[in-house]
Amino acid sequence: MPELPDVEGFRRVAQRAEGRQVRGVQVRDAQVLRGVGSAEFQEALRRRYFGEPWRCGKWLVIPTAGAPNAEPGAPAVLAHFGMTGSFEWCGHGGEVHRHDRVVFDFAPGELRYHDMRKLTGLHLARQRGEVDELLAELGPDAQRIGAEEFGERLTRTRRGIKAALMDQSVLAGLGNICADELLWRARVHPNRATTELTADDLDQLHREMRAMLRDAVRAGRVPDDASWLTGHRDAPDQRCPRCSTALRRTRVGGRGTLWCPACQSD
């Protein structure tokens, strides 16, 4: 599932269209549109100029303007990538994949919304207030939250730490893979109650989260390097990259969870 680092990578792809005029929009599968029909979506964006895309957690917002130097405003495209969504930049004339659901046409190329499972998709915010409404339930972005607010928001949830980290209303951007990676780095058991975390635990979690996201955002994805827990998720012999102990799998909040019983004792 795309998480904060992946969406940051999609943001960089969408930057290829920044300042470019939409010549046309091809909706190849209207099931990925949320709250808007194909005709309205196409007409609202045709001849608009894409502004600078920005991210909030797992959401990507692309404002538009009526002229190249105009202030970006409504309408705006909001993308949530669900399990299998992505943005891809392609040259003209390239073969359109069957999972390319929406294609934005620009003079130098095409921005394609690609999604196999179609669990979420693209929203059209007709006014600025609609952007705020769609993002209203989100907590602070995980890459930007300060240490004090991070600790306060986690400890008021009274749940297991992994469930709290993945709750987008508490903290926006972390998913299953990032949460496992962070807890392994901080040596915290995924089922440990947030109310049991000390001030030092919370500071350590915040530092490790910032370092992890910095490296992952630079890569545009959660790296699967051998030094990362993520790099061992699909290994036939799953062992901790820090101590070589056999990793364990369990379910937390209905999600498959990978952890090290030696490094993350409960």
Find all residues with CB under 8 Å of 36, minimum gap 6, and list them: 44, 123, 124
Residue 156 annotated among the catalytic residues of the structure: no
Asked if 3 and 142 touch (Cβ cutoff 8 Å), the reply is no
Q: Which helix (H) or strand (E) holds 5?
A: helix 4-14
DSSP designation for 174: -
Residue 255 annotated among the catalytic residues of the structure: yes
Catalytically annotated residue among 2, 53, 63, 190: 2
Catalytically annotated residue among 88, 130, 255, 261: 255
Q: How far apart are CA 25 and CA 46, in angstroms?
A: 7
Phi, psi of 184 (to 5 degrees): -65, -45
| CA-atom Rg of the chain in angstroms | 20
Residue 3 annotated among the catalytic residues of the structure: yes
Catalytically annotated residue among 3, 110, 181, 208: 3
Asked if 72 and 51 touch (Cβ cutoff 8 Å), the reply is yes
Residue 110 annotated among the catalytic residues of the structure: no
Asked if 81 and 115 touch (Cβ cutoff 8 Å), the reply is yes
Q: Which two tokens stand for residue 160?
A: 């297991």
Q: How far apart are CA 49 and CA 68, in angstroms?
A: 6
Catalytically annotated residue among 16, 48, 55, 58: 58
Active centre residues (catalytic): 2-3, 58, 255
